[in-house]
Amino acid sequence: MEEEKEELQYHHTMPIQLRWNDVDRFGHVNNEVYFSFYDLGKSQYFAHVCPHVNWRNYGIVAVHVQADFLSQIYETDHIAVQTAVTEIGNKSFHLSQRVIDLDTGEVKCKGMSVMVTYDLIAHESMPLKQEWIEAICRFEGKDVRRNQRKPLEL
Amino acid sequence: MEEEKEELQYHHTMPIQLRWNDVDRFGHVNNEVYFSFYDLGKSQYFAHVCPHVNWRNYGIVAVHVQADFLSQIYETDHIAVQTAVTEIGNKSFHLSQRVIDLDTGEVKCKGMSVMVTYDLIAHESMPLKQEWIEAICRFEGKDVRRNQRKPLEL
Amino acid sequence: MEEEKEELQYHHTMPIQLRWNDVDRFGHVNNEVYFSFYDLGKSQYFAHVCPHVNWRNYGIVAVHVQADFLSQIYETDHIAVQTAVTEIGNKSFHLSQRVIDLDTGEVKCKGMSVMVTYDLIAHESMPLKQEWIEAICRFEGKDVRRNQRKPLEL
Amino acid sequence: MEEEKEELQYHHTMPIQLRWNDVDRFGHVNNEVYFSFYDLGKSQYFAHVCPHVNWRNYGIVAVHVQADFLSQIYETDHIAVQTAVTEIGNKSFHLSQRVIDLDTGEVKCKGMSVMVTYDLIAHESMPLKQEWIEAICRFEGKDVRRNQRKPLEL
């Protein structure tokens, strides 16, 4: 896990509907399923923060993921996935996500991904567009660009 | 599909949260995923109608399923699964389910299952208990038993 | 289930590799997973029987499925999915499939689907092409067309 | 990713049967599915290396996972998952896994997990048993214990 010097603020929280089939032989939600929560949180984050983008033309794919499984999730738990963009580089950006218990606030799983944007028409990776970067920084309430040559008007 | 002489009334409707991963290479929700909607609808139906049952001890498993896929489901659709018990026999019962579009009312998929109750402790199938049958008939607003020797007080 | 007057011969058998995650809270392979076996058997059947078709351009989708779950599948079982085209109509065709235990021959699940072919480029359903029909009948060793106006040279 | 000073040797390689449903809207195997490959590789590794253990009584669960997705997997690729235990501590152990292309040798994904053993009867985590540690070190051909107070006879 990346060290977090200050507590990360999550501005995007999405309640998750658990499915009967999410539970494995051990009676709790299988680890693999957590990544479908992260995928859903990620897609809803970008649909919300960059609503004018045609997401049929662009894919946001993970090149690296890591996750700490801190506590089991049971079928009757009320959980949500939280998503934040924490760092935007030239060719990739970092996404922090976690799964929380909505009743207790307990963090069930903490994850970080390195993502790249992909042009599905041209079939090649591409940097985040300037307007997306601005929308993300506005949503996060801070300038999350790694190289901040020029100030960003939020 | 079983012929339905009269239009079936569904008293149990559960909105479904679609996941990013539900969509397959064709861009619509994969047929296989519909059965996870049916599983979820079924489990919530019984949790609601028979709330005092310890579902760790009993399983409700399908011995026959059939489904008609009437219309594609896309990621942005708002859908729900509807569930009704339509017939209770001595050793099994019938479940009708469908997936609907909550915005348009369109029926996306219609399904029927023959279910048996399973005692997970004794590891054997068992008939539905009398109190469950009564709770189901009360919830459905009619006597759905196949053999109705004695009237059921709803 | 459709009545089978004579025992159906399956000429396409595909062993299935079970995954750890196929097993649900009851300790056996979840019903929903069977449909992924059927999907795999179906796609391999057509890749084998019609090898010159570009399956990026055509989809074979189910409009009706039904399945009888006859016996549980456990993680250590050696199973296979068997697939046969049993009837070809003008606009759809019937697929019979079953999951068998390779060690004991036991039939675990028997399924039937009504399928339609879909032109993924034109975004519309289409009849099976004549050369596919011929290849299927040759593979099945009999004329499975519903309306057999002209004899088919196998 | 942990730095690997020397190239890790994998002694456990398991070919993976891809399923039709593993492929997502982008036409390649979805990232989430890779973790089912890792789960399968892991369970087969322990079934092979510790064949006398009753795995109904013990669970091996991940508390941390990380993965680098290096190259896409397509439906027609022939892939395998490779698994090695690289480090055994007092309360946890490290598993390195990767997905390779069997035809080209290309590494598709590289992963590392921190695992703990769980006693499913007592419902608590437990250290790896001495005989498991010995079997693992024998299989790996080296002493992978973090604290090697006493030499291990391989």
pLDDT in tens, chain A (154 residues): 445 556 899 999 999 999 999 999 888 999 999 999 999 999 999 999 999 888 888 989 999 999 999 999 999 999 999 999 999 998 899 999 999 999 999 999 999 999 999 898 898 999 999 999 999 999 999 999 997 777 776 6
Q: How confident is the model at residue D116 (pLDDT cuts 50, 70, 90)?
A: very high
**D83 three-class SS:** strand
Measured distance between the N- and C-terminal CA atoms of chain B, rounded to whole angstroms: 29
Q: Do D21 and B27 touch (CB under 8 A)?
A: no
Q: Give D 12-41 residues with CB within 8 A of chain C.
A: 16-17, 19-21, 36, 39-40
Q: Two tokens at D52? A: 């006398």
Span C57-89, pLDDT tens digits: 898 999 999 999 999 999 999 999 999 999 999
Q: How confident is the model at residue D1 (pLDDT cuts 50, 70, 90)?
A: very low
Q: Is residue B152 part of a domain?
A: no
Q: Is residue C110 part of a domain?
A: yes
Q: Is residue A148 part of a domain?
A: no
Q: Is residue D76 part of a domain?
A: yes
Read off the CATH number of the domain in which A95 is found: 3.10.129.10
Q: Do D21 and C42 touch (CB under 8 A)?
A: no
Q: Is residue C150 part of a domain?
A: no
Does residue D69 surpass a pLDDT of 90? yes
Alpha-carbon gap, residue C41 to A50, rounded angstroms: 40
Span B31-49, pLDDT tens digits: 999 999 999 999 999 999 9
CA distance, residue D36 to nearest chain A CA (Å): 7
Sorted by sequence, the CB contacts under 8 Å of residue B26 that are 6+ apart come out as: C59, C61, C120
Q: What is the pLDDT of residue A54?
A: 87
Q: Is residue B130 part of a domain?
A: yes
Q: Is residue D2 part of a domain?
A: no
Q: Do A24 and C27 touch (CB under 8 A)?
A: no
Q: How confident is the model at residue B154 (pLDDT cuts 50, 70, 90)?
A: low
Residue carrying the six token digits 């859903």: A40
Q: What is the pLDDT of residue A21?
A: 93
Q: What is the pLDDT of residue C5?
A: 56
Mean pLDDT over D16-39 rounds to 94
Q: How confident is the model at residue D144 (pLDDT cuts 50, 70, 90)?
A: very high
A 10 A CB-CB count for B68 gives: 18
CA distance, residue C26 to nearest chain B CA (Å): 8
Q: What is the pLDDT of residue C27?
A: 86
Q: Which residues pair with B61 in a beta bridge?
A: B116
Alpha-carbon gap, residue C8 to C98, rounded angstroms: 11
Q: Residue A30 is part of which domain span?
A: 12-140
Span A33-72, pLDDT tens digits: 999 999 999 999 999 999 988 888 898 999 999 999 999 9
CB of C147 within 8 Å of a chain A CB? The answer is no
Q: Is residue D16 part of a domain?
A: yes
Q: How confident is the model at residue B112 (pLDDT cuts 50, 70, 90)?
A: very high
CA distance, residue C69 to nearest chain A CA (Å): 17
Half-sphere exposure of C11 (CA within 13 A, CB side): 14
CA distance, residue D33 to nearest chain A CA (Å): 8
- Per CB-CB distance under 8 Å, the chain C contacts of B66 are 64-67
Q: Give B 71-130 residues with CB within 8 A of chain D.
A: none
Using CB atoms, list chains with 3+ pairs below 8 Å to chain D: A, B, C
Nearest to D69, CA basis, from D101, D108, D20, D23: D108
A 10 A CB-CB count for A99 gives: 26
**A34 three-class SS:** helix
Number of domains in chain C: 1
Alpha-carbon gap, residue D95 to D115, rounded angstroms: 7
